[in-house]
Amino acid sequence: MSKKIVSLFCFLSFWASLDAQTPSTFYQQIVSRVSSDTVLANLQKLESLGKKEPGTAALDNTANWLISKYASFGYTNIVRDTFDYGGHQLYNLIITKYGTVFPPKYIIIDGHYDTYQGPGVNDNGSGVAVILEIARLLSNVQTAYSIKFINFSAEEEGLIGSQHYVDNTVIPTNQNIVLVFNIDEVGGVSGTINNTITCERDESNPSSNNAASYAFTDTLVTLTHQYSSLLTQINYAYGSDYVPFQEAGEVITGYYETNESPYVHSPNDLLIHMSPDYVTEIARAATGASLWFSQASPLNTSLDLSSAQNKIRISPNPARDFIRWNCPENAGNYQLRFYNSMGQLLEELDYSTANEPIADITKLPDGIISLKFSFENPKSNCTVSFLKSH
C-alpha cells in the first residue's frame, strides 16, 4: 500500500549511543550472508512476473514461484490459506518454522505479494524479497519461538487477505502471537540518498496493545542499528497488513521506506526507479531483527570458565518467559541465584552441564534481576543482570 501522508509525529532517532544491548556475533555471521545478488535476482523475478492483481495469471504464478522458493530453502510446512474475493480464488501463503522452546508461540513476519496497476517491484516486491532472504538464512537456525512467514494476497484491495487470516485463523484458534513484523514497500527511490528506514508502531485503538508495540519498535530501532548501516525514524502504523492484527489486540511493528516512491500503484513501479542496495540493507536489518525476535541461538555455545565474568551472556534481554545463557562446557554442577534490586533472593536453581541452559522466569517479578552463577569446577562466581519485562 502506498502511503502519501507525511507524519507530523515522526522524528529521527540516533540510538547508537543509548544502546544497551550487545550485537550477537552469531547473529552477525548470519546477517553477513545476506546477498545483494540474491535480493536483486528476486526483485528481477518479481518484476518479470508482471501485474499481480486478483484474477491475473501473474498472481497465481507468483504464489507458485514463492512456494517453490520456500520449499527450496527446506521448509516443508507450506500452506495455502484460500479465500474468495471478487469471484476469484486467492491465497495467503503461510510458511511455519517450529521453535524449540515455545513452539505454540509465534513471531509472524509478513508482507503482501499482490500488486496494484503494475508489477509492484517496490510495493511490495521489495518486502517479499526481504522476507525470502530472511527465510533462506533462518531455515537451518534453531529459534525459541515459532515463526510464520506469511505472504498475504489482496492487500491492495483493502487488507482482504490479512483480515481473512485474522478472522478465520488467528481469532478462532486463539493463536498465541508474540509479535507481527510487517514489511511493506521498502524499495527506496533511485537517485536519492536511501539511508533511513521508518519503523512503525501501533498508535491506534485499541490501545491495550500499544505499549508493547512501542517497546518492540524501540527494539527494532536498536536492532536495525546493530545489524545494518541504516538510520531510523519512528512513525505510526497504518494502511498495511498489520492493521487487522492490531485491531484484534495483537502486538505489531513494521518497516516502511522513508523516501516514499512516487511510482507505486502504477506501471512504473519498476526496479529502475528503486535502490536494490537499500533493499539489501533492509534485508540485513530485518534478518538481525528476526533472529532476535524469534530468539535464535546456536546449538553448542561453550564458555571458558577461566574468564567467565566477561563471557556469560543472558538472552533474551529484556526477557519475559525464559532466559538462556552460554553453557560452561566442563563446569559440572552449578547453581543459579536470582536477586531483585534490593538484593533479596528470589529463586535458587541447580544445574549441571547435562541440563539445557534455560530457565523459566515467568514467576519472577518485573524489573532488574541480578543472576549469580556459582560454579564448582573451577570454583568461581559470576553475576550478570537482565531486565524481566511484562
List interacting residues with Zn ion (CB under 5 A): 1, 123-124, 184-185
Q: Which is nearer to Zn ion, 218 or 260 (CB)?
A: 260
Q: What residues have CB less than 8 Å from 342, skipping those under 6 apart? A: none
> Residue 240 is placed in which grid cell?
498495511
At which residue does the C-alpha cell 523475478 appear? 45
Minimum gap (Å) between residue 109 Cβ and Zn ion: 15
Minimum gap (Å) between residue 184 Cβ and Zn ion: 4
Residue 22 vs residues 39, 227, 303: alpha-carbon distances, Å: 27, 11, 17
- Contact 11/233 with Cβ under 8 angstroms? yes
User: What is the rounded distance in angstroms from the CA atom of residue 247 to the CA atom of residue 346?
Assistant: 38
Minimum gap (Å) between residue 112 Cβ and Zn ion: 6
Q: Which is nearer to Zn ion, 1 or 296 (CB)?
A: 1
Cβ count within 10 A of residue 173? 8
Angle of helix 210-227 relative to helix 276-293, nearest 10 degrees, comes to 120
Q: Which is nearer to Zn ion, 123 or 269 (CB)?
A: 123
Minimum gap (Å) between residue 261 Cβ and Zn ion: 11
Q: Which is nearer to Zn ion, 240 or 295 (CB)?
A: 240
User: What is the rounded distance in angstroms from the CA atom of residue 1 to the CA atom of residue 122?
Assistant: 10
User: What is the rounded distance in angstroms from the CA atom of residue 328 to the CA atom of residue 375?
Assistant: 9
Q: Which is nearer to Zn ion, 218 or 257 (CB)?
A: 257
Minimum gap (Å) between residue 149 Cβ and Zn ion: 17
Minimum gap (Å) between residue 2 Cβ and Zn ion: 7
Q: Which is nearer to Zn ion, 279 or 369 (CB)?
A: 279
What are residue 216's DSSP bridge partners? Answer: none
